[in-house]
């Protein structure tokens, strides 16, 4: 009976409700034990024993499947729950991964957008800067063009006001004479370089070479003083190497006038022939500077090597008081060179008294048209072209 009780207890583990039958069995077992001791509490304890065994089996049979089913159901629920949890976990992981991926992609997109915006901004700034630079360059170019045009207009007006003409030097004849590319011969006004062509004077070749080195093939500006040409048809001109802003400004004359350059460097002496006296005072001043420094031809003596305004002046003992011989032509020179083209009216009649003049400037004060070789005032040094007529225009 004890073993049966143990068996029933084991069965009841499959269905706990079967413990009711076990309880009936235990009660019957106890009553039977009491009855064997003479204590009868229930006359038929075997009924409880039988009922307990049967009810235990019935309840176990009835509820064991249900419990198993319930347990299985619980297990399924648990499995499903675990699966759901796993799924949720996977879903959460996937969501987290997706969220992370989305965040990374968003960060990349934001970075790309930021880079594109920065690039666009830089491009716009660059374009704006280039446009501004272009605008400034165009404005500068326009201003420069306008300034250049204005400067050119001012220069043209100045050229016209000063009576300047632009020419190209074709060749240099000698120190003070050139020929332009269009064939005109130009004699420099107010200066005299030593001769180097038909006859030779000291320092003449150096003066000629200097003029060649400075002017050959160059473009220069020529300016008329008063006279247009000399008796040889040469144009009498001032030579400017550049357009002066003021043709009477000494600094401009020193820096830009070639006539002055020859005198300043000792290649020429001042030689004034009225009425072309616009720059004579400057030339005399420059010649004195060169002479003080023994430049060029002044290194050969205080009188230089050719005729000029600084030659010594000798006073006449008694100036001739002659009247002009209006109707008598001058005699032919004893040297045989014809002067028939010069009427005697250009000079007073010869006098037996010699007249001495320092230069042509002084002589022309009394004899405006010069004098022939037969005249008492004639000096060979004033006959530059050796045609037996001194200081002619």
Supply the DSSP string of 108-139, one letter for each residue. Answer: HHHHHHHHHHHHHHHHHHHHHHHHHHHHHHHH
The long-range contacts involving 353-356, CB below 8 angstroms and separated by at least 24 positions, are 353/316, 353/317, 353/318, 353/319, 353/320, 354/316, 354/317, 355/316, 355/319, 355/320, 356/314, 356/315, 356/316
Q: 53: burial class by Cβ within 10 Å (0-12, 13-18, 19+)?
A: buried
- 33 contacts: CB under 8 Å, gap ≥ 6: none
Q: Residue 296 in 3-state DSSP? A: helix
Buried b / exposed e along 120-150 (16+ C-beta atoms within 10 A):
eeeeeeeeeeeeeeeeeeeeeeeeeeeeeee
CA distances from 306 to 168, 195, 335, 336, 381 (A): 28, 8, 22, 24, 8
How far is C-alpha 359 from the geometric centre of its chain's CA atoms?
57
Q: Which residues pair with 170 in a beta bridge?
A: none
Q: Residue 91 in 3-state DSSP? A: helix
Radius of gyration of the chain (CA): 69
Catalytic residue among 187, 237, 364, 384: 187
Catalytic residue among 171, 214, 234, 288: 234
> What DSSP character marks residue 330?
P
> What DSSP character marks residue 176?
T
User: How far is 141 from 164, CA to CA, in rounded Å?
Assistant: 30
Give the tokens for residue 29.
Answer: 């077992």
What is the pLDDT at residue 206?
Answer: 96
Catalytic residue among 195, 201, 261, 355: 195
Give me the residues of the chain with pLDDT under 70, please: 1, 11-12, 14-15, 18, 60, 64-72, 314-353
Phi-psi label, residue 275: left if phi above 0, alpha if psi -120 to 50, beta otherwise: alpha
Give the tokens for residue 374.
Answer: 């037969």
Q: What angle do CA 229, 233, 234 make, to 5 degrees?
A: 65
Contact 353, 371 (CB under 8 A): no
What is the pLDDT at residue 369?
Answer: 80
What is the pLDDT at residue 246?
Answer: 95
Evaluate the CA torsion angle 48, 53, 57, 59 in order and state its sign. positive
252 is catalytic: no
187 is catalytic: yes
Contact 176, 188 (CB under 8 A): yes
> What DSSP character marks residue 348?
B
CA distances from 284 to 174, 175, 281, 289, 331 (A): 21, 18, 5, 9, 35
User: How far is 271 from 277, CA to CA, in rounded Å?
Assistant: 10
Minimal CA–CA distance to 24: which of 62, 53, 64?
Answer: 53
What is the pLDDT at residue 99?
Answer: 85
What is the pLDDT at residue 338?
Answer: 33
234 is catalytic: yes
What is the pLDDT at residue 356?
Answer: 86
Q: Residue 140 in 3-state DSSP? A: helix
Kindly list the structural domains of the chain, giving each domain's residue range(s) and its CATH number in brackets, ordered by start: 2-93 (no CATH), 165-298 (2.40.50.90), 344-390 (no CATH)
What is the pLDDT at residue 228?
Answer: 97
Q: Which residues pair with 185 in a beta bridge?
A: 179
Q: What angle do CA 303, 210, 163 make, to 5 degrees?
A: 90
Buried b / exposed e along 76-92 (16+ C-beta atoms within 10 A):
eeeeeeeeeeeeeeeee
Minimal CA–CA distance to 286: which of 269, 306, 308, 303?
Answer: 269
């Amino acid at each position: 009976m004890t073993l049966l009780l143990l068996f029933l207890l084991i069965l009841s583990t499959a269905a706990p409700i079967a413990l009711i039958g076990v309880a009936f069995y235990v009660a019957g077992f106890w009553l039977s034990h009491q009855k064997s001791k003479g204590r009868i509490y229930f006359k038929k304890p075997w009924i409880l024993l039988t009922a307990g065994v049967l009810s235990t089996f019935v309840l176990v049979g009835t509820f064991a499947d249900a419990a198993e089913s319930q347990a299985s159901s619980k297990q399924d629920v648990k499995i499903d729950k675990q699966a759901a949890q796993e799924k949720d976990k996977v879903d959460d992981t996937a969501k987290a991964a997706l969220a992370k991926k989305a965040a990374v992609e968003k960060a990349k997109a934001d970075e790309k957008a930021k880079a594109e915006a920065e690039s666009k901004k830089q491009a716009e700034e660059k374009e704006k800067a280039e446009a501004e630079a272009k605008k400034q360059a165009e404005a500068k170019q326009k201003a420069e063009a306008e300034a250049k045009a204005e400067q050119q207009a001012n220069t043209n007006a100045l050229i016209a006001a000063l009576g300047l003409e632009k020419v190209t030097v074709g060749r240099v004849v000698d120190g003070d004479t050139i020929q332009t590319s269009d064939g005109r011969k130009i004699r420099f006004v107010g200066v005299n370089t030593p001769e180097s062509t038909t006859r030779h004077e000291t320092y003449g070749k150096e003066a000629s070479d200097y003029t060649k080195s400075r002017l050959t093939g160059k473009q220069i500006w020529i300016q008329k003083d008063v006279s247009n040409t000399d008796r040889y048809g040469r144009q009498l001109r001032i030579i400017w190497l550049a357009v002066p802003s003021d043709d009477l400004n000494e600094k401009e004359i020193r820096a830009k006038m070639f006539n002055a350059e020859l005198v300043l460097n000792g290649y020429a002496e001042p030689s004034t022939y009225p009425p072309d006296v616009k720059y004579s005072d400057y030339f005399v001043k420059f010649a004195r500077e060169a002479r003080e420094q023994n430049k060029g031809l002044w290194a050969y003596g205080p009188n230089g090597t050719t005729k000029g305004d600084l030659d010594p002046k000798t006073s006449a003992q008694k100036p001739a008081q002659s009247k002009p011989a209006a109707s008598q032509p001058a005699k032919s020179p004893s040297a045989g060179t014809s002067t028939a083209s010069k009427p005697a009216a250009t000079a007073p009649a010869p006098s037996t008294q010699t007249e001495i003049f320092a230069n042509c400037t002084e002589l022309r004060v009394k004899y405006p048209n010069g004098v022939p070789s037969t005249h008492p005032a004639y000096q060979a040094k004033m006959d530059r072209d050796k045609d037996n007529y001194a200081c002619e225009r």
